[in-house]
Amino acid sequence: MTRAANFLIEVETRVMNHEPSFAVVVPFFNEERNVRAVCGELRGILETMLPGGEVILVDDGSTDKTWAKLEEIALTWPQCRVFHLSENQGQSAALLLGFDKSVAPILVTMDGDGQSDPRDIEKLLVKLEGVDMVVGARVVRQDSWLRRKISWIANSIRSELLGDGVSDAGCALKVFRRDVVGAFIPIRTLYSFMPALAVAAGFRVIEEPVNHRPRKNGTSKYTVRSFLLLPILDFIGLEWFRTRRCPGRAMRSLDEHLAIETLGEELYRRAVRRWAAAICLIGFGLMLAPRKQGEGRTTQKISLHRAERIALHDFPKGRLGSVQLSMRDDRLTWTIDVQPPASADLREIEIDAADGHVIAARVETAEEEALEAAVEDQHGHPRRLVPQ
């Protein structure tokens, strides 16, 4: 029996017992122009593809009409509950409130700005079998160049030093078991450090490519302070916490959460703030420093397995063809052929082997593929050029 079938059986069992099999927690802050579209799309996906779940919508102290619109939606959506924070406390506080209000054994998080694609929830739920957390990895980021640059630097440093094994910890779309919540501590940048905290507590974490969409309405709530300064401060505290925590023990009580929060504030006052400004200056200098052409783009960080998953993102039932790893325009590049279902033509996908983003994708006809194969065979080149 497939993992998808097992999951659907579990969902049906919980529906019969009137228990939510999972809960989707969505925080909102001043998103009045996105509320209806986000909730409407999510409701359609859950009612047609994933029955048996509940939805927790949390208004993080919005100053516009977000709260009123959420309340209006909840009136006609029995599976939806709405909670309101009296003042803006940050995305992490809203998520923790949502986790606390649900008793579902599986929790799903996504953003309220419309950039998360709820159609990916089913895929992440199925992947949860055998692990404790599945983190979405945005294949093609629909953000500004500066934000993508900062995110890439932060993800590289965090993954290397905290050892969480994921490439996009800041992706809002995550699925995890309720037990994992006990590993979280209430810091403002919790959304970026959930995988690291889960791994430090002994939970199994994997990632899965997901879709990412451009923001249609409103503006991003991230600033330099929330996107760079606070993560640096929290990173320092988490590195200390990760090395000092009791192995395999997740916090269970609110008192323990509050104790860690108080400890974090004390650490900030006594040590971290003395030299945080220096770290920020160094980080900005490294980020903006001119680089030689091709520098940093010739190192392979994306494995063949990861590259193939990225190539199959738009064609999950497609067939993989030839694979080649080569230098193109001073860039180490994966070139992977994918044949979509019921199509004679191939899709040639070029993927940056350094950061995993899709460089180009084009249609390759059967005639072009045959000619390419003949040329390669004539020169004695193998069809799968992947270094061992």
At which residue do the structure tokens 């494995």 appear?
A: 303
| Final residue of a structural domain among 257, 275, 293 | 275
> What pLDDT is stored for residue 272 in this prediction?
46
With respect to residue 289, please indicate whether it lies within any of the assigned structural domains. no
- Ranges of H-type helices in the chain: 3-16, 35-48, 66-75, 91-101, 121-127, 145-162, 190-200, 224, 230-244, 254-267, 273-288, 304-311, 366-378
Q: Are residues 324 and 227 in the same domain?
A: no
Judgement on whether residues 245 and 336 belong to the same structural domain of the protein? no
Do 43 and 89 lie in one domain? The reply is yes
Q: For residue 82, tell me if it sits in a domain.
A: yes
Predicted local confidence at residue 262, as pLDDT: 45
Task: Please indicate, yes or no, if residue 13 is contained in any of the structural domains.
Answer: yes
**DSSP secondary structure code for residue 212 in this structure:** B
Instruction: Read off the CATH number of the domain in which 320 is found.
Output: 3.10.450.40
Residues 255 and 321 in one domain: no
Q: pLDDT tens for residues 14-61?
A: 444 568 999 999 999 999 999 999 999 999 999 999 999 999 999 999
CA-nearest of 255, 233, 236 to 244 is 236
Please tell me whether residues 271 and 359 are part of one structural domain.
no
The DSSP-derived string for 152-181 is HHHHHHHHHHH----S-TT-S-EEEEGGGG
Please write the tens of the pLDDT for every residue from 63-113: 999 999 999 999 999 999 999 999 999 888 999 999 999 999 999 999 999
In a domain, 294, yes or no: no
Q: Is residue 343 part of a domain?
A: yes
Distance separating alpha carbons of residues 317 and 130, to the nearest angstrom: 22
Q: Looking at residue 33, what is its pLDDT? A: 93
**What pLDDT does 22 receive?**
97
Residues of the chain with pLDDT under 50: 8-9, 11-16, 224, 226-227, 249, 252-274, 293-295, 380-388
Q: Is residue 378 part of a domain?
A: yes
Determine which helix (DSSP H) or strand (DSSP E) holds 24, and give its type and residue range: strand 22-28
In a domain, 339, yes or no: yes
Are residues 269 and 346 located together in one domain of the fold?
no
Whole-number pLDDT of residue 263: 44
CATH number of the domain encompassing residue 145: 3.90.550.10
Does residue 92 sit in the same domain as residue 152? yes
318 shares a domain with 182: no
Q: Are residues 265 and 379 in the same domain?
A: no
**Model-level pTM?**
0.59
Supply the range of the domain harboring residue 15.
3-275
Q: Are residues 202 and 116 part of one domain?
A: yes
Q: Are residue 326 and residue 268 in the same domain, yes or no?
A: no
Confidence (pLDDT) at 13: 46
Phi (first) and psi of residue 11, to 5 degrees: -60, -45
Tell me whether residue 129 is in a domain: yes
Number of structural domains (the chain) is 2
For residues 271 and 346, membership in a common domain is answered with no
Q: How many CB atoms lie within 10 A of CB 183?
A: 23
pLDDT of residue 382: 46
